[in-house]
């Protein structure tokens, strides 16, 4: 059955939408008139190609900054303006030493002078690879550590990870040999055998305590009472480092003295290797005391292989200390000008303050 043809919509002055419709319908692939060519191309793709071809034939517009008038540019400038004052490039201070105070990896235990667990070795090795990704060609790295087994093994595994990473990322970096440094040792406790690391004194403490508990005769010496409180806090799941930081003890090295030692070590490293990056494997107690002294509050115990970073500026009088997303600018203590805490001929108020004592 033949249907009558539809009435024509051709008009002398057709609406614009109708004229554009006819123009699209009569366009084929080569731009000539006639019925559209059906080559299987999806409609969205044909429209995209048409818009692309139309854009290619038109002149590209100049950038916005050239097309916009002065008023628009001034308004944009006002919106982006801040109160911050940026220093010129020449005002940037040179870093004399970049020091990472790193806590040792997971250890087998604190009751003996133990080394690292397999997890602790992996933590240190992974940390070394992380440092290898961050350093740049031509840098100098210095690795130091405390003399304990866990700190020494941390430094050794850190160096292995660092060397592996430098080979993997093809970086030319000078790495100095490992060396222990006395300044970065753990805090000590006075025992009948002298000053010992708090972990190294555990066996003597346990043996002496057992003898007193077995005989139950006489008073326990004060060093035993203080170290007993420390270790019972540890064994009870508390925070023994917080106990050491907040409670004065006669036989424990004061936290301020460990901070002083660490600054002495940083000064020595900066003098021996100016401009280098230093990695120091040490213990959580002195690291935490160092952070407390710099930040003015206790940010908490560092995790295994977590670090406190110290950037010592040229001149050695100012530094930046960063720990757990907090950065604090500090005045570096001049150790030779600090009191020795000993009264006598070598110390007096007149020599320290330049005034007569009360």
Work out the pLDDT band at 321, boundaries 50, 70, 90. very high
Tell me the average pLDDT across 250-254: 91
Work out the pLDDT band at 237, boundaries 50, 70, 90. confident
Note the pLDDT tens digit of each residue in 261-300: 999 999 999 999 999 999 999 999 999 999 999 999 999 9
pTM for this prediction: 0.70
Work out the pLDDT band at 342, boundaries 50, 70, 90. low
Per DSSP, 262 falls in state H
Least confident of 77-86, 186-195, 349-358: 349-358
Query: Would you tell me how many other CB atoms lie within 10 Å of the CB of residue 333?
Result: 16
Q: Under CATH, domain 92-187+260-358 is a member of which superfamily?
A: Phosphoglycerate mutase-like (3.40.50.1240)
From-to residues of CATH 3.40.50.1240 in the chain: 92-187+260-358
Least confident of 2-16, 23-37, 282-296: 23-37
Averaged pLDDT of the chain? 81
Confidence check: pLDDT of 147 > 50: yes
Given this model, what pLDDT does residue 29 score?
Answer: 46
> What is d(CA 281, CA 166) in angstroms, rounded to the nearest whole number?
20
Least confident of 90-94, 138-142, 276-280: 90-94
Confidence check: pLDDT of 174 > 80: yes
Paired tokens of 45: 């793709």
Given this model, what pLDDT does residue 322 score?
Answer: 95
Confidence check: pLDDT of 210 > 50: yes
Could you tell me if 176 and 273 are in contact, meaning their C-beta atoms sit under 8 angstroms apart?
Answer: yes
For 237, phi then psi, to 5°, come to 85, 10
Q: Residues 29-68, buried b or exposed e (16+ Cβ, 10 A)?
A: eeeeeeeeeeeeeeeeebeeeeeeeeeeeeeeeeeeeeee
SS3 239: coil
> What is d(CA 188, CA 223) in angstroms, rounded to the nearest whole number?
12
Tell me the average pLDDT across 192-217: 79
Tell me the average pLDDT across 99-122: 91
């Amino acid at each position: 059955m033949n249907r009558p043809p539809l009435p024509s919509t051709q008009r002398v002055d057709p609406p614009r939408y109708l004229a554009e419709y006819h123009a699209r319908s009569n366009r084929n692939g080569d731009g000539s008139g006639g019925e559209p060519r059906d080559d299987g191309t999806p409609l969205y793709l044909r429209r995209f190609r048409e818009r692309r071809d139309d854009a290619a034939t038109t002149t590209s517009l100049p950038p916005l900054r050239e097309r916009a008038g002065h008023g628009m540019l001034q308004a944009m400038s006002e919106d982006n303006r801040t109160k911050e004052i940026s220093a010129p490039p020449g005002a940037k201070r040179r870093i004399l030493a970049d020091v990472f105070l790193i806590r040792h990896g997971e250890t087998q235990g604190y009751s003996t002078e133990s080394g690292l667990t397999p997890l602790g070795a992996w933590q240190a090795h992974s940390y070394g690879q992380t440092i290898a990704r961050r350093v740049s060609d031509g840098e100098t790295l210095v690795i130091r550590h405390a003399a304990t087994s866990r700190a020494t093994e941390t430094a050794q595994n850190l160096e292995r990870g660092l060397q592996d990473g430098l080979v993997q990322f093809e970086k030319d970096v000078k790495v100095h040999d490992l060396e222990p440094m006395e300044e970065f040792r753990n805090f000590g406790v006075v025992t009948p055998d002298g000053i010992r690391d708090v972990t190294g004194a555990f066996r003597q403490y346990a043996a002496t305590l057992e003898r007193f508990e077995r005989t139950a005769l006489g008073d326990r010496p004060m060093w035993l009472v203080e170290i007993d409180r420390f270790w019972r806090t540890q064994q009870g799941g508390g925070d023994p480092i917080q106990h050491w930081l907040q409670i004065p003890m006669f036989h424990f090295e004061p936290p301020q003295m460990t901070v002083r030692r660490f600054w002495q070590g940083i000064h020595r490293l900066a003098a021996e290797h100016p401009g280098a990056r230093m990695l120091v494997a040490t213990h959580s107690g002195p690291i935490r005391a160092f952070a407390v002294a710099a930040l003015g509050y206790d940010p908490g115990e560092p995790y295994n292989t977590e670090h406190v970073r110290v950037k010592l500026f040229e001149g050695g009088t100012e530094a930046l200390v960063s720990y757990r997303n907090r950065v604090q600018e500090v005045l570096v203590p001049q150790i030779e000008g600090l009191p020795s805490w000993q009264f006598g001929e070598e110390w007096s108020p007149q020599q320290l303050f330049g005034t007569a004592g009360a």
